[in-house]
């Protein structure tokens, strides 16, 4: 016999519901504005508020670590733009359903390298697709779905189950319907998908404590090796998809050329070499538009931020 599930305490459930009401108010407020005005308003708001938060110092340390040659005034200018970009994402998310319409998508999005995913779709070849937290990264999933590729998009479930359900419903409205939660049985689901000839997509630019240490902007950074190992095990191409904001609510989505998977007979070294190539491509994307990366994430060890 198994133990009965422990019921969630009443106060916890009440807190979840109150948080969900706040989420509903946020979505309603920005949806009423429409995507362009919502993007402008939220971007302006976070550009003012962001630098006053404790996470601004985390973002500053990250940027100084990546661009040690940059003058302090340049760092602050880029950080201000970064906060604005993140604010725009916040304003755009309740309105992302607009991108489900092909006409709106084609008008607002320049889709580079689309043919790479379409070729995989036509060949029935599974692909391991890597994304990163750059610009409006929610567009990555929508763009993948536009190609008709059968792809499982991974996501980190929200702690609040009511908000998590709302996020999944919202993503379904902008075409992201095949979602696989990280953790638990998620890894098994991804392996099963690849074995069945289906593609998977994962974010790969944040710190993973139990990952492997690989250079990132010249500093060792704990990085997830899982996507690389999955690609190796299933003989799947490894591709990165990125988003760059071109101004306002206009974007360029790029499916990059496949990342070369190391043929080193030492499997551990092969994984290290391949993950290094992933980080090198991520560095290039960030250098091309540094104000558009999500700088507030602690990418390195805690000691780096204590020293700052």
Task: Please give the pLDDT value at position 1.
Answer: 41
Task: Please give the pLDDT value at position 234.
Answer: 96
- Structural domain count, the chain: 1
Residues 6+ apart with CB under 8 A from 56: 50, 79, 83, 296
Please indicate, yes or no, whether the overall pTM of this predicted structure exceeds 0.85.
Answer: yes
Task: Please give the pLDDT value at position 5.
Answer: 66
Checking DSSP bridges between strand 128-131 and strand 199-203, what pairing results, if any? parallel
Q: Does residue 69 form part of some domain?
A: yes
DSSP 293: B
Q: Does residue 1 form part of some domain?
A: no
DSSP 265: S
Q: Does residue 181 form part of some domain?
A: yes
C-alpha dist (Å) from residue 8 to 12, 160, 208, 306: 7, 12, 29, 36
Instruction: Please list, residue by residue across 82-108, b when 16 or more beta carbons sit within 10 angstroms of its beta carbon and e when fewer do.
Output: bbbbbbbbbbbbbbbbbbbeeeebeeb
Q: Does residue 216 form part of some domain?
A: yes
DSSP β-bridge partners for residue 180:
154
The tokens for 191 are: 């392996």
Q: Does residue 236 form part of some domain?
A: yes
Q: Does residue 274 form part of some domain?
A: yes
Rounded CA-CA distance 169/162 in Å is 11
Q: Does residue 5 form part of some domain?
A: no
Q: What tens-digit pLDDT sequence spans the chain (308 residues)?
A: 455 567 899 999 999 999 999 999 999 999 999 999 999 999 999 999 999 999 999 999 999 999 999 999 999 999 999 999 999 999 999 999 999 999 999 999 999 999 999 999 999 999 999 999 999 999 999 999 999 999 999 998 899 999 999 999 999 999 898 778 776 677 888 999 999 999 999 999 999 999 999 999 999 999 999 999 999 999 999 999 999 999 999 999 999 999 999 999 999 999 999 999 999 999 999 999 999 999 999 999 999 998 65
- Which residue's structure tokens are 């995989």? 120
Q: Does residue 4 form part of some domain?
A: no
CB 293 within 8 A of CB 133: yes
Task: Please give the pLDDT value at position 6.
Answer: 77
The tokens for 160 are: 């609040």
DSSP string, 162-182: HHHHHHHHHHHHTT---EEES
The tokens for 289 are: 């538009």
Which residue segment(s) compose the domain that 148 sits in? 10-307
């Amino acid at each position: 016999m198994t133990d009965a599930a422990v019921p969630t305490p009443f106060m916890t459930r009440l807190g979840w519901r109150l948080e969900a009401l706040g989420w509903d108010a946020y979505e309603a407020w920005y949806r009423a504005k429409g995507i362009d005005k919502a993007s402008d308003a939220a971007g302006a708001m976070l550009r003012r508020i962001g630098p006053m938060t404790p996470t601004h110092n985390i973002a500053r340390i990250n940027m100084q670590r990546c661009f040690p040659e940059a003058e302090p005034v340049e760092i602050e200018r880029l950080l201000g733009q970064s906060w604005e970009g993140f604010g725009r994402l916040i304003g755009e998310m309740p309105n992302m359903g607009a991108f489900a319409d092909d006409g709106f998508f084609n008008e607002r999005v320049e889709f580079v390298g689309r043919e790479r995913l379409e070729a995989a779709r036509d060949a029935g070849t599974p692909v391991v697709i890597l994304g990163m937290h750059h610009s409006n990264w929610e567009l990555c999933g929508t763009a993948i779905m536009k190609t008709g590729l059968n792809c499982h998009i991974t996501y980190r479930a929200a702690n609040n189950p009511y908000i998590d359900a709302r996020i999944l419903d919202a993503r379904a409205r902008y075409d992201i319907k095949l979602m696989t939660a990280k953790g638990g049985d998620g890894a098994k689901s991804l392996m099963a998908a690849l074995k069945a000839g289906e593609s998977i997509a994962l974010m790969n630019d944040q710190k993973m404590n139990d990952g492997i240490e690989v250079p990132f902007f010249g500093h060792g950074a704990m990085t997830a090796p899982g996507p690389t190992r999955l690609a190796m095990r299933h003989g799947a191409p490894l591709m990165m998809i990125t988003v760059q904001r071109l101004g306002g609510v206009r974007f360029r989505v790029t499916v990059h050329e496949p990342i070369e998977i190391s043929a080193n007979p030492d499997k551990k070294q092969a994984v290290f070499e391949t993950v290094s190539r992933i980080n090198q491509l991520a560095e290039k994307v960030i250098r091309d538009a540094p104000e558009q990366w999500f700088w507030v994430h602690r990418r390195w060890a805690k000691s780096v931020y204590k020293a700052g």
